[in-house]
């Protein structure tokens, strides 16, 4: 079967690109021919909140990646869409995460479908964005209406699709493991690589820093008097995607500077293993969310997790088995962190993670995408 995946990929960086590249490998492992089509321009610079959109690492040599789609140039939409219409792949899979991408991806989808052969489906990270802006709904509807099937990675997004009255085939399948960051390391080795004191415990906040991810709530929780008495530090590993000043004020106000480990630049793929394997637990104090790739990196590295009970986060984290599911408040987060250390739950939760992580496979995701595309597998 010929498959085209349209969305971020190298030379772009970040979790979406990492996911799409891993998905391409999963299709290839299933015996399919696969190509990635990514953006020559993903966001205009004035809309991009980080330092750079592009990777400084070597590109993957095992993947066919075409850099051709410009998110703000309609000529490129028509060029890509008409070429794919003529090429007649069996399935085109769009990665949709932001209304801003609706016009480009929706136009390409409509053009491709004119060949009456290619099935057009989407992995929808969000259909109602975390940070709402005027025009979100019509831009999203324009894209969704062009698709013939959906796979969501949280039940919340599946419910949003139905709430918007889209009735195409749709399946929920959890985010597969991010197993492309290398094997686990012993904690002592990861701590040594990062130059961290092995006599101290470490909690990890990982990923781009944006308002909805709740780092401010975590900083307030970490100021709890009970935690100040424990030999524990918080690692903040990720680039600011907004003004850092409010967070710096919280750090100053609560005198947290000496209890933090800062790594507030983009974390390259080869360094991810060290931050996760050095941590006792990964903390996701989100204010709203649908799903999170951070959870699937934590599962891969067998790290316990604390998540807040918002969106689809709790679907993947059995409370009391692999970690904690708590309300998004400083008090609730602090209570769980204190319990984790005082009751010495790391070993117990790590065992739970090992058992649970077997459920998250890329093979399951590939099968779901083929199912909503209504592609019949050849008989064996």
Nearest partner of 259 among 234, 281, 225, 285, judged by Cα: 234
Burial tier of 358 (Cβ tally within 10 Å: 0-12, 13-18, 19+): exposed
Whether domain 2-176+361-372 has CATH 3.40.50.11930: yes
Q: For the whole model, what pTM was predicted?
A: 0.78
> Over its length of 380 residues, how does the chain's per-residue pLDDT go in tens digits?
999 999 999 999 888 999 999 999 999 999 999 999 999 998 776 555 555 667 777 889 999 999 999 999 999 999 999 999 999 999 999 999 999 999 999 999 999 999 999 999 999 988 877 667 788 999 999 999 999 999 999 888 999 999 888 889 999 999 899 888 889 999 999 999 999 999 999 999 999 898 989 999 999 999 999 999 999 999 999 999 889 999 999 999 999 999 999 998 888 888 999 999 999 999 999 998 766 789 999 999 999 999 999 877 888 899 999 999 999 999 999 999 999 999 999 999 999 999 999 889 999 999 999 999 986 544 33
Decide whether 2-176+361-372 matches 187-358 in CATH topology: yes
Nearest partner of 8 among 123, 85, 116, judged by Cα: 123
Burial tier of 12 (Cβ tally within 10 Å: 0-12, 13-18, 19+): buried
Q: For the chain, give every domain's residue range.
A: 2-176+361-372, 187-358
Nearest partner of 243 among 279, 282, 205, 215, judged by Cα: 215
The listed CATH number (3.40.50.2020, 3.40.50.300, 1.10.260.40, 3.40.50.2000) that belongs to domain 187-358: 3.40.50.2000
Q: Are 294 and 207 in contact (CB under 8 A)?
A: yes
Determine the Cα–Cα distance for residues 140 and 126; give it in Å rounded to an integer: 10
């Amino acid at each position: 079967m010929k498959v085209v995946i349209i969305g971020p990929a190298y030379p772009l960086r970040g979790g979406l690109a990492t996911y799409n590249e891993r998905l391409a490998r999963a299709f290839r492992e299933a015996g399919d021919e696969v190509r990635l089509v990514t953006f020559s321009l993903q966001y205009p610079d004035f809309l991009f909140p980080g330092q750079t959109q592009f990777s400084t690492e070597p590109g993957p040599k095992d993947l066919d990646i075409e850099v051709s789609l410009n998110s703000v140039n309609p000529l490129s939409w028509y060029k890509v869409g008409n070429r794919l219409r003529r090429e007649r792949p069996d399935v085109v899979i769009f990665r949709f995460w932001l209304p801003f991408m609706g016009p480009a991806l929706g136009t390409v989808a409509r053009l491709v479908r004119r060949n009456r052969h290619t099935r057009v489906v989407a992995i929808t990270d969000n259909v109602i964005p975390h940070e709402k802006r005027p025009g979100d709904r019509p831009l999203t509807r324009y894209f969704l209406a062009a698709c013939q099937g959906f796979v969501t990675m949280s039940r919340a997004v599946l419910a949003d699709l139905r709430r918007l009255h889209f009735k195409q085939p749709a399946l929920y399948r959890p985010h597969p493991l991010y197993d492309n960051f290398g094997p686990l390391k012993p904690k002592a080795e990861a701590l040594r690589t990062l130059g961290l004191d092995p006599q101290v415990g470490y909690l990890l906040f990982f990923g781009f820093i944006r308002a909805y991810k709740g780092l401010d709530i975590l900083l307030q929780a970490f100021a709890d008097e009970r935690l100040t008495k424990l030999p524990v530090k918080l690692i903040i590993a990720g680039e600011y995607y907004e003004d850092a000043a409010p967070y710096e004020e919280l750090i100053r106000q609560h005198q947290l500077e000496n209890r933090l480990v800062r790594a507030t630049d983009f974390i390259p793929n080869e360094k991810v293993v060290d931050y996760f394997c050095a941590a006792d637990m990964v903390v996701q104090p989100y204010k709203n969310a649908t799903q999170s790739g951070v959870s699937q990196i934590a599962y891969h590295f067998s790290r316990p997790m604390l998540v807040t009970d918002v969106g689809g986060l709790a679907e993947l984290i059995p409370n009391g088995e692999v970690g904690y599911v708590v309300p998004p408040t400083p008090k609730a987060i602090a209570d769980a962190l204190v319990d984790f250390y005082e009751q010495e739950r790391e070993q117990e939760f790590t065992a739970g993670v090992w058992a649970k992580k077997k459920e998250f496979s890329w093979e399951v995701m590939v099968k779901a995408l083929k199912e909503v595309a209504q592609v019949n597998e050849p008989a064996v």
